[in-house]
Amino acid sequence: MSGPGGNETRAIGGIRPAGPGAFLVIIPAYNEQGALAQVVKSVHAHVPGAPVLVIDDCSEDSTLDVARRAGAEVLALPHHLGLGGCVQAGYKLAYELGFEYVIRVDGDGQHDARDIPRILDRLKTSGCEMVIGSRFAEANGPRTGAARSLGIRFFRMVLRPILGKPVHDPTSGFVGVNRRALDLFSRSFPLEYPEIEALVVLQRKRFRFEEVPCRMRPRMAGRSSITALKSLYYIVHVLLGVFVNMLRFEGRRRLPPKEE
């Protein structure tokens, strides 16, 4: 089956090396056997022909088999690396295979695959390096729990002066990147809680991001990796990561696009 940009989907022999315009959907997954099959099928249904790569972060359940049975390609990590290491492995493979765009969808079913074309379209037309699928980009966005909402507001406030523009949903994992960001993230990507720090990594390079409104659903199965007890650690860790990335800031001059 021929995919966007001439990709082969679910081809024997894995995902084929791609060229300009090709895009890949990656799904980092850790113990997501309950929702993953539905997520993969939903991507195939709404983005026909798109190659789907599940990165299995050494799950203890049958995530790996579920992903294969659902028709996804699987990159199986030899041991648990955490979300950042897992996503970065997918970015590295996508970069090596020559993909121009990569869209990350979470494996818990919270992201709606119908929004993938919108993110891809914005990536292609805006020329910015990253597009975030945002729950809150529209005024009547969904409500989240009080603690999470407070956390998101706090990080919006922290990031506003650093990024020089507001970001409505800094913790969203529904993210599309182009090849310049892929190149950067293949070499430097936050390893534990990557979403917020990745924005600062982009800012270091004077790369741009935009947000597009997206639908967000409750997770279909499993539990969030960020429990109540881990919230405080999360805030301290992310703040430290943001601060460290600011110290690495590489100047105000925007880097020229890299030759491919």
Partner 1 sequence: MDRLLNVTTGLSALLLVIVLISVRRAHIRPEYSITWLLAAAAMLVLSRVRPLLEVLRRLTGLPDTPLTLFLMGAGVFLIMMFRLSVILSHLRDDNIALAQRVAILEYHVKSQREI
Residue 148 CB, nearest distance to partner 1 (Å)? 28
* Window contacting partner 1 (CB under 8 A); options: 12-20, 107-115, 164-172, 248-256: 12-20
Residue 93 in the binding site for partner 1 (CB under 8 A): yes
88 binds partner 1 (CB under 8 A): yes
Among 185, 189, 192, smallest CA distance to 236 is for 192
77 binds partner 1 (CB under 8 A): yes
Q: Which one among 25, 81, 152, 216 touches partner 1, defined by CB under 8 A?
A: 81
> What is the distance between the alpha carbons of residues 137 and 117, in angstroms, rounded to a whole number?
17
CA distance 110 to 108: 6
Return the residue of 10, 41, 68, 92 that touches partner 1, per CB under 8 A.
Answer: 92
**# residues contacting partner 1 (CB under 8 A):** 19
For 40, residues 6+ apart whose C-beta sits below 8 A from its C-beta are: 27, 52, 54, 67, 70, 71, 72
Say whether residue 239 binds partner 1 (CB under 8 A).
no
Instruction: Answer yes or no whether residue 161 interacts with partner 1 by CB under 8 A.
Output: no
Out of 18, 66, 72, 89, the residue judged to bind partner 1 by CB under 8 A: 89
Q: Is 60 in the site for partner 1 (CB under 8 A)?
A: no
- In angstroms, the CA 16 to CA 205 distance is 30
Contact present, 111 and 169 (Cβ < 8 Å): no
Closer to partner 1 by Cβ: residue 153 or 243:
243
CA 77 to chain centre: 17
Torsion sign, CA atoms 226, 230, 231, 237: negative
Query: Which residues contact partner 1 (rule: CB under 8 A)?
Result: 12-15, 55, 73, 75-79, 81, 85, 88-89, 92-93, 96, 191
